[in-house]
Amino acid sequence: MFSLPCFLLGMLLADIYVARWKSQPIASRLNDGVALLCVVAMFGMRESVAVDRLLMPWVLCLLMVSVLCGDLSKRVASLPALCAIGGMCYSIYLFHYELIVVISAVTLRFAVTEKFLPNFVLQSLLITPIVLGFCTVYYLYVEKPCMARDLPQRLLAKFRKPSTSPVAIETGAKQ
C-alpha cells in the first residue's frame, strides 16, 4: 500500500511534464542541490516508518522535479546506462528478489568482517552485475519484443493458414 502514493505522484508528475509543462525549465545548480538534499533525506527517513510513509512520496516528487529542472542532475539522470536500467525496471522488478536470494546463498560465504557496511558493499558488488546481466537478457529477448505495436498481428499471421479460396485460385492472387 505504501507504493500507491509514490506511483500516483509519479503519474501526476509525468502528466504535468508531458501535457502541461509549457516551456523548457531553466536548468539551475539550485535544483541540483535540492536533488542532492532529497537523496540524503530519503536515506535519513528510513529510521522512522511513520515519517517515511508520510514524507517519502513528497520527497520523491520534489526529487523528480528538481532533477528535471537541474543542470548536473538532469545530465546524470540522462546517462544512457541509467536510461537503459530505467527501461528495464519491470524486468528488474520481476526477478531481482528471487535472483538475490539464489545468488546470496553462494556469495554470503564471502563475508570479510562482522560489520554490516563492508559486507553490504561487497554483496552489492557481487550481486548487482549478475542481477543486471540476467535482467538485461530477459528484457532484450522477452520483454522488448513483446512491446512491439504490431505483435498481435504478427502472432495471428503465424497461426493463419494461407487462403485457398476459389477466388484466390481463379485469379491467381497471391496471399
pLDDT in tens, 12-63: 888 888 887 766 767 788 999 999 999 998 887 766 777 777 888 888 889 9
| End residue of a domain, out of 27, 59, 78 | 78
Residues 71 and 32 in one domain: yes
The sign of the torsion formed by the CA atoms of 140, 142, 147, 149 equals: positive
Res 165: pLDDT: 56
Does 9 or 172 have the greater pLDDT score? 9
The answer to whether the CB of 95 falls within 8 A of the CB of 128 is no
Residue 172 pLDDT > 60: no
CA distances in angstroms from 151 to 84, 142, 158, listed in the order given: 22, 12, 11
- Read off the pLDDT of residues 3-16 as tens digits, 9 standing for 90 and up: 788 888 888 888 88
Confidence of residue 141 (pLDDT cuts 50, 70, 90): very high
Residue 175 inside a domain? The answer is no
Helices vs. strands in the chain: H and E counts, helices first? 10, 0
For residue 172, give the DSSP letter.
Answer: T
Per-residue pLDDT of 102-129, as tens digits, reads: 999 999 988 888 898 899 999 999 999 9
Please answer whether residues 117 and 124 qualify as being in contact, where contact means their C-beta atoms are separated by less than 8 angstroms. Answer: no
pLDDT at 171: 58
Query: 86 and 70: one domain?
Result: no
For residue 119, what pLDDT is reported? 92
- Specify whether the CB–CB gap between 118 and 112 falls below 8 A: yes
Same domain, 8 and 69: yes
Predicted pLDDT at 10: 83
Secondary structure (H, E, C), 61-88: HHHHHHHHHECHHHHHHCCHHHHHHHHC
Q: Is 13 in the same domain as 3?
A: yes
Domain with 3 in it: 1-78
- Give the pLDDT score at 143: 92
For residue 168, being part of any structural domain is answered with: no
Average pLDDT over residues 144-149: 89
- Look at residue 122 and tell me if it is in a domain: yes
Of 78, 112, 146, which residue sits at a domain end?
A: 78
